[in-house]
Structure 1
Amino acid sequence: MINAAKTVLITGSEGFTGQYMAAEMQAAGYHVAGLGSKSATTVDYYQADLTSIAELTAVIAQVQPDIVIHLAAIAFVGHGDANAFYQINLQGTRNLLEVLAKAEKKPEAILFASSANVYGNTSEGSLSENTLPAPANDYAVSKLAMEYMAKLWQDRLPIIITRPFNYTGVGQAENFLLPKIVAHFKSQANVIELGNLEVWRDFSDVRAVVNAYRRLIEAKAFGHTVNVCSEAVYSLREIVAMCEEITGHRIDIQVNPAFVRAGEVKTLCGDATLLKTIIGNWQVPKLHETLSWMLKSE
C-alpha cells in the first residue's frame, strides 16, 4: 500500500509567508490544509479564530494534521492595538498548543515562527541564538513570551521554534520597508521618505525562509530555537542604489526625522551556524536577485 501524503496544517496560510509555505510543502509532496481568521476560497482552507478553543478543536479534529506550521500572527510592528499582539501571538498560540496536546492524533512536528525582533536593537554584530533577548516593542515581547510559553509544552509535543530575521519577496505588504522602496520605483516616484540610511540589516528571500522551515521539520529539530538569516547585511542607501541600478530610475531620498529611531543599532546581522548545522547546505538568493524579482513582478 502506498502511504498517503502527510497532511500539513499551516496557520496564517493566506498571509504573505503562508502562501509561500503552502507552495513549498505542496512541491515537496505534502497535502496542505490552511487555517486563518478570515474567509477564503482556497481548497482545504478552514476558518477559525485562534482565540477560540472550540473553533480550533473542531478544525484539528477534522484535519488531523501530521505536521503543524504556525505562522498566524500580528506581524507588523507598528500595528495600532498592542493588546492584539498578546491575544493572537501569545494566547492564540497557547490555545493551539492546548488543542494539539489533547488531540486524538498527535502531530509528529510543530514549527512556530517567532522573530529575530526578540533580540531587540541593542546588541551589535552577528547575533547567535545565545544572544540575550532584549525585546524593544510589544510585538517582540509577545513573540519572546510565546517562545517561553511553548517550551512549557516541549515534553508533550515535538516543537521547533524559528527566529527569522528580516525577509521579503513579491506580495509582502507595502507597510514593510523593502516593498515600500520597490513600490516607489515601480511607480517611478521622484522622492522617497526614509529613516536612517546608515543602518545595516540582514535580509533574506521568503522562498529561502520557507525552504529552511520545511527542512527543519524534516530534520526533526525538536527542542531547538533556530535563527533563519542570510548572514549578509545591507544599508538602506545600498538597497536604494540597487533598485536604481536594476530599474535605471533615479529617486531622491529625503530623511524624515519621524522615521529615525532613537538609539537604533547600526548593524544587525544573524548567525545561521545552527541552522546550517541542522539542515546542511542552504542558499539564500543575493538581495540583488530578490529585488529584481520584486521589481519585475506584475
Structure 2
Amino acid sequence: MNQQGKLIITGANGFTGRHACAHFLKSGFDITAVSRKKLNIEGKIHAESCDLTNGNDVNNLIKRTKPQYLLHLAGQNHVGESWLEPVSTLEANTMSTAYLIDALRKQSPACKIVIVGSALQIDPISISSIPHPYSLSKTLQVLIAKSWAVLYNMDIIIAKPSNLIGPGLSNGVCSILAKKIAEMEKMGTETVLEVDNPNVQRDFLDVRDAVRAYDLLLRRGQSGETYDVASGTNRSLEDIIEGYRTVTTGEIKVNSQRNDLIENKMAINPIKLVNLGWKPSIPLESSLMDILAFHRELKEKC
C-alpha cells in the first residue's frame, strides 16, 4: 500500500477532479478515481465507475476499496440546470453525499473526509433568501455532512471554494471567455465578448491552488470545520478581460448590458487555511495565460 494511504476522489472526470488526480498521484497517495463512466487516466490510478445516487453501488464501492481518505468533488454544479432539474440536482449533490458518508460510517469509519461545498451555499437559517435550487442542494449537502460528523463522530471537513479557474474543460466564465478569444484568433477576426455586467465581482482562485488546499485539509484540517478556499481578493469581469488583453495580439471589444452598475462584494477570507500554512501561489495573470493556452491548443487540434 502506498505510504500516504488510500484515497478516493469522486468526480474524477471533472475540471477539478482531473487536477486533483494528477496532484495526489505526485503526492504519493494510492488513488481510486471515481466517475459515472470509467476513466482512462494516466499514471498508477485505479479507476472505478459508480453512480453515486445509487446507495447500493456506493456501499459496494466503499466495501471494495476501504479508503482512508475521501475527497468528494462529484456533483451537479450548473445553476441553470438546477432550475430545470431541481430533484436530480438534489440527488447528485445531496443524496450522493449522504450515501458516501453513510457507507464510510459502516465500512471505513476512520476515513478522513473532505466534502467540497460551494461559495453559493447559505446559512440554513436564511432559507427564505435562497437564490436557486443549486444553492439549496449545496446547503443541504453541508448540513448532512456536518450532522453525520456530530451524530456518528466522523472526521468530516467542509471546503468552500470560490470561483476556480485554470487550464482544462470548465464552464466557468474565464474559460468561456478564453474559448471565444481562441476561436477569434484562429479565424483572424476581431474578438467581441458578450457580458452582462463587466463590473460584477468574484473571487477567482486557480484550481491547482485549490487542490493544494484540499491536500492540506486531508492532512491537517480539523474535523467539523468549514474552510473557505479563496484568493481573498475580488476581481471584476473587466479585470479578467483586461488580463486577457495583455496575452492576446488581437483586439478585444466588449458588449455589455449593464456596464453602469458597480457591484461591491465582501471578499472571502481564507484565514483558517492560511493559519494551516496555505496561501495561493499562482497569480491571476498566469492562470489566464494557462487557460488561453489550453483553448488555443484545443483549437489547433480541430
Corresponding residue of 1:34: 33
Q: CA deviation at 1:3?
A: 6.7
Corresponding residue of 1:44: 46
Matched, 1:186 2:189: no
Aligned equivalents of 1:225, 1:281: Cα separation in 2: 15
Aligned equivalents of 2:140, 2:233: Cα separation in 1: 28
Which letter does structure 2 place at the counterpart of 1:149?
A: I
Report which stretch shifted further, 32-41 or 220-229.
32-41
Report which stretch shifted further, 238-247 or 2-11.
2-11
Pairs aligned (count)? 280
Name structure 1 gaps, 5 residues minimum: 121-130
Aligned equivalents of 1:74, 1:67: Cα separation in 2: 22
Aligned equivalents of 1:198, 1:12: Cα separation in 2: 32
Q: CA deviation at 1:284?
A: 3.5
C-alpha change, 1:119 and 1:230, in structure 2 (3 Å) is farther
Which letter does structure 1 place at the counterpart of 2:137?
A: S
Does structure 2 retain, via aligned residues, the 8 Å contact 1:163–1:225? yes
Corresponding residue of 1:7: 6
C-alpha change, 1:9 and 1:107, in structure 2 (3 Å) is farther
Aligned equivalents of 1:282, 1:241: Cα separation in 2: 24
Aligned equivalents of 1:40, 1:293: Cα separation in 2: 24
Matched, 1:116 2:112: no
Deviations 1:111-164 (A, max 9, x none): 0000011259xxxxxxxxxx9785411111111111111111113210000110
Aligned equivalents of 1:283, 1:256: Cα separation in 2: 33
Does structure 2 retain, via aligned residues, the 8 Å contact 1:94–1:150? yes
Classify the secondary structure of the residue corresponding to 1:162.
strand
Does structure 2 retain, via aligned residues, the 8 Å contact 1:10–1:18? yes
Corresponding residue of 2:224: 223
Alignment equivalent of 1:97, drawn from 93, 96, 101: 101
Matched, 1:289 2:291: no
Q: CA deviation at 1:94?
A: 0.7
Classify the secondary structure of the residue corresponding to 1:153.
helix
Q: CA deviation at 1:5?
A: 4.2
Aligned equivalents of 2:3, 2:236: Cα separation in 1: 47
Does structure 1 retain, via aligned residues, the 8 Å contact 2:2–2:30? no
Corresponding residue of 2:165: 168
Does structure 2 retain, via aligned residues, the 8 Å contact 1:68–1:107? no
C-alpha change, 1:183 and 1:3, in structure 2 (3 Å) is closer
Matched, 1:276 2:274: yes
Aligned equivalents of 1:4, 1:225: Cα separation in 2: 27
Does structure 2 retain, via aligned residues, the 8 Å contact 1:204–1:284? no
Classify the secondary structure of the residue corresponding to 1:269.
coil
Q: CA deviation at 1:184?
A: 1.5
Aligned equivalents of 2:169, 2:273: Cα separation in 1: 24
Whichever structure has more helix as a proportion of its residues is 2
Q: CA deviation at 1:296?
A: 2.0
Name structure 2 gaps, 5 residues minimum: 185-189, 298-302
Aligned equivalents of 1:285, 1:119: Cα separation in 2: 28
Aligned equivalents of 2:64, 2:220: Cα separation in 1: 27
Q: CA deviation at 1:106?
A: 2.5
Q: CA deviation at 1:286?
A: 1.6
Q: CA deviation at 1:256?
A: 4.4
Aligned equivalents of 1:107, 1:283: Cα separation in 2: 30
Classify the secondary structure of the residue corresponding to 1:267.
coil
Does structure 1 retain, via aligned residues, the 8 Å contact 2:149–2:156? yes
Classify the secondary structure of the residue corresponding to 1:116.
coil
